Chains A and B, each alone.
Chain A
Amino acid sequence: MKLTLRIWRQHHRTAKGEMVDYHLDDVSEHMSFLEMLDVLNEKLLAEGKDAIAFDHDCREGICGACSLVINGKPHGGFPNTTTCQVHMRHFNDGDVVTVEPWRANAFPVLKDLVVDRTAFDRVMHSGGFVSVNTGGTPDANAIPIAKNEADIAMDAAACIGCGACVAACKNASAMLFVSAKIGQFRHLPQGKVEQLDRAKRLVAQMDAEGFGACTNTYDCEGACPKSISATFIAEMNRDFLKGNLCEP
């Protein structure tokens, strides 16, 4: 198929970017979206032009490295699908496809479609872990955990930290990501110890990074390639309030 790709080009962090049109003539429907971009980059390099920078790593939908807002939706807006798992059979001959980076103040563009997502790392450093002192290896299954609680924790832990929630939100809010990172621990006995303190720390860092606030539009939930539920945000709000109001 023939495609017109309208792609965001930006030379460096402070440069002014713009959308540039590229034409590809024989795109196979069996290609993944990233393979299609690989083909475009080979063509650009053969012409002596600068290749388009984009993030990718596992190309299996589990690492959270790939990004891209495709035709106005993060990861293209296909259910439970990251960009690397989007295949060209979803597109038609003659389509104009727009490709943009995640856009958020907290995710500055480094080059073209690559954004700096270390704001998420700093949120995690602020308390997104369970503090465990070293010692003897505990017995497996020594602490019983109810099946339904373990399931909820696993649902939250499915978050791959790609940032699609931030990209989709009209406020560039990171609340779905932060609430998933809180949610994966708060349902487990090991994580409950620091539950309220963790919520306070992560929310404080989230605010400091310049993410917006939640207006409950739930575009994040719709964009999440791992179907993280927005009810985790309600749990985070509850923990944050309880931590501030009820703790000594």
Chain B
Amino acid sequence: MRWLTNLATSSIGAKVLMALTGVVLVAFVVGHMIGNLQVFAGREVLNHYAELLQSNRGVLWAIRLFLLGSFATHVFMSSRLTLQNQAARPVPYVNQVPIKSTFTSRNMWVTGFVVLAFLTFHLLHFTVRVTHPEYQQLVEHVGPETRPDVYTMVVMGFREPVVAITYVVAMLLLGLHLSHAISSAFQTMGLNTSKYRPITEKVGPVTAVIVVIGNVTMPLAILAGKVPLPPGAF
């Protein structure tokens, strides 16, 4: 089993774990965005989708725990590597000028930390709903049954300018993080070659732009009043 401890304690092993968990998290971010864009298809479609996600508690919690585990590993490994990296240069330069690095690539832990803070708020806002307990009461009547009215919750949520702007800013920072992260994952997992590098270098920024545009249109469109509240909602 020495190979396993070798891997887990090595710098490259830690980086590969970050890349693998990062791939899981990127897949989630993209899936989450595609699912949520159904808000533009109306109340019926989005609420049906939400009901579908909630229908199998076992699968739902298995996925949630897998995501939580990936996220925790990603944060733990990044913290460990960041501390090691800072210790590798105890005396800083008086004058250091970047050559190929960018603001984004040098400040991944900063954008990552902001995303972590935003994610905590986002879960409390729309999933646990402790910031707005009244969201718990929102239901849609479907025949004799009722189901959670996610559509109304989202529209009401983003009609608050402070909330909408917070989401937009957080998405811009997530975009910065992803633009470096996704291209880096190829390099770290050893999937980069001089032949494919021109492509792998662009995959990150392109995916980031798609994620930012997709996620930012929702709060902005709702804030601009382009997504109607259903009649009878308060």
Q: Which of A154-211 contact B (CB under 8 A)?
A: 168, 170-173, 200, 203-204, 206-207, 210-211
A221-B100 contact in complex given A171-B88, A173-B85, A216-B180, C-beta closer than 8 Å: yes
Q: B188–A100 contact, CB under 8 A?
A: no
Provide the residues of chain B in CB contact with A17, threshold 8 Å.
Answer: 91
CA A229 – CA B187 in complex, angstroms?
12
- Comparing A31-39, A83-91, A137-145, A240-248, the segment that makes contact with chain B is A240-248
Q: What distance in Å separates the Cβ of B36 from its nearest Cβ neighbour in chain A?
A: 30
* Interface: A52 (CB within 8 A): no
* Interface: A133 (CB within 8 A): no
Q: State which of B3, B6, B91, B108 has its C-beta within 8 Å of the C-beta of A103.
A: B91
Q: What distance in Å separates the Cβ of B78 from its nearest Cβ neighbour in chain A?
A: 10
* Interface: B234 (CB within 8 A): no
Residue among B88, B98, B180 facing the most chain A CB atoms (10 A cut-off): B88
* Interface: A222 (CB within 8 A): yes
Provide the residues of chain B in CB contact with A203, threshold 8 Å.
Answer: 10-12
CA A241 – CA B191 in complex, angstroms?
11
Provide the residues of chain A in CB contact with B12, threshold 8 Å.
Answer: 203, 213, 236-237, 240-241
* Interface: A98 (CB within 8 A): yes
Q: A237–B93 contact, CB under 8 A?
A: no
Q: State which of B13, B89, B97, B184 has its C-beta within 8 Å of the C-beta of A244.
A: B13
Provide the residues of chain B in CB contact with A111, threshold 8 Å.
Answer: none
Instruction: Name the residue on B nearest A96 (C-beta).
Output: B95
What class of interface size applies to chain B in its complex with A?
35 or more
* Interface: B192 (CB within 8 A): yes
CA A239 – CA B89 in complex, angstroms?
27
A216-B188 contact in complex given A100-B95, A241-B12, C-beta closer than 8 Å: yes
- Mark contacts of A59-85 with chain B using CB atoms, 8 A cut-off: 1 yes-contact digit, 0 otherwise: 000000000010111000100000000
26 A-B contacts (beta carbon < 8 Å): A19-B94, A72-B93, A98-B94, A105-B90, A170-B85, A172-B85, A172-B89, A204-B6, A206-B11, A211-B88, A213-B11, A214-B11, A218-B100, A218-B101, A219-B98, A219-B100, A221-B100, A229-B194, A231-B193, A231-B194, A234-B187, A239-B190, A241-B12, A245-B3, A245-B7, A247-B3
User: A residues bordering B, Cβ < 8 Å?
Assistant: 6, 8, 17, 19, 69, 71-73, 77, 98, 100, 103-106, 109, 168, 170-173, 200, 203-204, 206-207, 210-219, 221-223, 229-231, 233-241, 244-245, 247
Ranked 3 nearest A-B pairs via Cβ: A238-B190, A222-B99, A72-B97
